[in-house]
Structures are given as C-alpha cells and as structure tokens.
C-alpha cells in the first residue's frame, strides 16, 4: 500500500523540522553578511538556504494541508529547478571572480526563470496527484522535466566540486584542518539531497525528505567548522579562493 493510501507517515513530517532549521540558518548567514559585508557569495548562499527552506516548506504544507497542483508546481520550482543553484552560484562568486560569476549568472538565471514560468502553465496529470506527497509525475512528460538534471548538474559541479577542491587545498595547509573538515562536510551535505532528488524522480520522495534534513545539518556543521573562531573576529571564506 502506498503512502497516499495510508496517509502521512512519520517521515512526511520531517520537512517541518528541515524548514525550521533553514530559517535559523538563513538568519545566521544574513547576520554574518550584515556584520562583515564580506561579498556577494554570502548573499547567494543565503538565497540558497532560503530556496532550500522554501522547497521543504512546500513539502510540509502538502503533509499538513494536503496536496494540490499549485503546491506541487511550487515545490518543483523551489526544489527541482532551484535546488542547489544559489548555493553553487555563491561558490562561483568566491572561486572564479566577479567577472566570470556575473557572466555565468547572466547565462543561467534567465534560463531558470523561463523554465519556472513554463512550469506554471505546464499541463498536468491529475491522476498522479497524491494527497500527501508531491511528485514529478504530476507534470506531464516533456522538455520541462528534463531541465532539472541540467541545472542540478551545474550546481553539483560548482557546489560539491568546489567544496571538494577547497577541502583538498585546506588539507595541504598547516593549521587549516577545520576548514578542510568543514568543506568535506559541505560536500557531503550537498550530495545527500542530490541523491534524494534522484530517488524522488523514481517515486521515492521519502528519501528526498531524509536527504534534505541530513544534508542541511551537514552543510551547517561544515559552515560552522569553516568559520570557527573567526566568526567573532573577521570574515573568513568558507571555500578556498585560488
């Protein structure tokens, strides 16, 4: 029997906790930016946590109040289309410099905006709408369902790849063990919801809920390990700029 037949299970309430954690983490990032004005990368990371929390908020709303076409479409835009993109773009601004980052932003943001607009008007399959679970099958098959892997591959390359690159660089530096550990945690934290998103496309949205929750905790732990004692003194890049 599917979760749609039995009603919400305990795992379906997990996005409520993930959303609450996202709100607190977002406040931490905004407060740090307001204090240090350390660059646009921190604002992009804040936008990424906002999008992260928005996606899990849609999941929580579906669990608590029931599903609808527009809730599922909002979930798809916030989670599948945005996904880790703003977080990755923060890494782009830190690692590649503003000129290159501005160019990549100019190329990618319009593409995402157009895709999000198309999703709003995309035909749906009402037979696939489950009472307490979102799912990509609600959107009828077509090119718009092929765009998230493209966007998320871009995000994974810069977010996960950038964190791994920085972890290795910091590991080779004396006294930078905390940042090496932190970037390793960020890479792992970004990987978990990516895996969960792939499983959600196969119909296992519960795996996404677990991946989002555990992934956010790892990303926050990695952030804490990176800033360390510098949080009270001066801004420190989370990732390593070349």
Q: For 171-193, b where at least 16 C-beta lie within 10 A, e where not — what string? A: eeeeebebbbbbbbbbbbbbbbb
Tell me the whole-structure pTM to 2 decimals. Answer: 0.85
| 237 part of a folded domain | no
Query: 239 lies in a domain?
Result: no
Q: Residue 226: its pLDDT value, please?
A: 82
pLDDT confidence tier of residue 6, bands split at 50, 70 and 90: low
Name, in order, each residue with C-beta under 8 angstroms of 113's C-beta and a sequence gap of 6 or more. none
Averaged pLDDT, 201-222: 91
Task: Please state, in angstroms and rounded to a whole number, the distance separating the CA atoms of residues 33 and 93.
Answer: 15
- The full DSSP string for the chain is --HHHH---GGGGHHHHHHHHHHHHHHHHHHHHHHH---HHHHHHHHHHHHHHHHHHHHHHHHHH---HHHHHHHIIIIIIITTHHHHHHHHHHHS-HHHHHHHHHHHHHHHHHHHHHHHH--B-GGG--SS---GGGBPSSGGGGHHHHHHHHHHHHHHHHHHHHHHHHHTSTT-HHHHHHHHHHHHHHHHHHHHHHHHHTT-HHHHHHHHHHHHHHHHHHHHHHHGGGGGTS---SS---
Mean local confidence (pLDDT), 217-242: 65
Query: Hey, how many other C-beta atoms are within 10 angstroms of the C-beta on 148?
Result: 22
pLDDT at site 5: 52
pLDDT band at 35 (very low <50, low <70, confident <90, very high): confident
Question: What is the average pLDDT across 128-148?
Answer: 85
Q: Which range of residues forms the domain containing residue 192? A: 3-232
Confidence of residue 178 (pLDDT cuts 50, 70, 90): confident
Residue 240: inside a domain, yes or no?
Answer: no
| 185 assigned to some structural domain | yes
- Decide if 180 is inside a domain: yes
219 within some domain: yes
Judge whether 116 lies within some domain.
yes
The 10s digit of each residue's pLDDT in 105-136 is: 999 999 999 999 999 999 988 888 888 888 88
Q: Which of 26, 37, 135 is nearest to 87 (CA)?
A: 26
The reported pLDDT for the residue numbered 174 is 72
Domain count, the chain: 1
With vertex at residue 23, the alpha carbon angle to CA 82 and CA 197, rounded to the nearest 5 degrees, is: 35
What's 12's domain CATH number? 1.20.1070.10
Examine residue 41 and state whether it is found in any structural domain, yes or no: yes
Per-residue 3-state assignment (H helix, E strand, C coil) for 198-224? HHHHCCCHHHHHHHHHHHHHHHHHHHH
């Amino acid at each position: 029997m599917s979760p749609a037949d039995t009603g919400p299970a305990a795992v379906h309430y997990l996005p409520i906790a993930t959303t609450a954690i996202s709100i607190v983490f977002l406040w931490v990032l905004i407060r740090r930016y307001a204090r240090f004005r350390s660059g646009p990368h921190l604002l992009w990371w804040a936008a990424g946590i906002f999008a992260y929390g928005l996606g899990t908020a849609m999941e929580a709303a579906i669990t608590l109040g029931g599903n609808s076409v527009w809730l599922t479409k909002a979930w798809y835009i916030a989670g599948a289309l945005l996904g880790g993109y703003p977080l990755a773009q923060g890494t782009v601004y830190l690692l590649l410099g503003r000129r290159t980052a501005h160019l990549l932003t100019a190329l990618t943001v319009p593409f995402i905006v157009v895709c999000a607009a198309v999703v709003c008007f995309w035909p749906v399959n009402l037979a696939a709408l489950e009472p307490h679970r979102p799912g990509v099958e609600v959107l009828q098959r077509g090119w718009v369902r092929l765009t998230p892997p493209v966007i998320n591959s871009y995000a994974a390359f810069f977010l996960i790849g950038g964190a791994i690159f920085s972890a290795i660089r910091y590991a080779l530096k004396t006294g930078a063990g905390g940042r090496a550990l932190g970037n390793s945690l960020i890479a792992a934290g970004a990987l978990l919801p990516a895996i969960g998103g792939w499983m959600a496309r196969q119909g296992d949205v519960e795996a996404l809920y677990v991946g989002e929750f555990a992934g956010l905790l790892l990303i926050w732990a990695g952030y804490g390990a990176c800033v360390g004692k510098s949080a009270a003194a001066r801004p420190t890049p989370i990732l390593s700029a070349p």
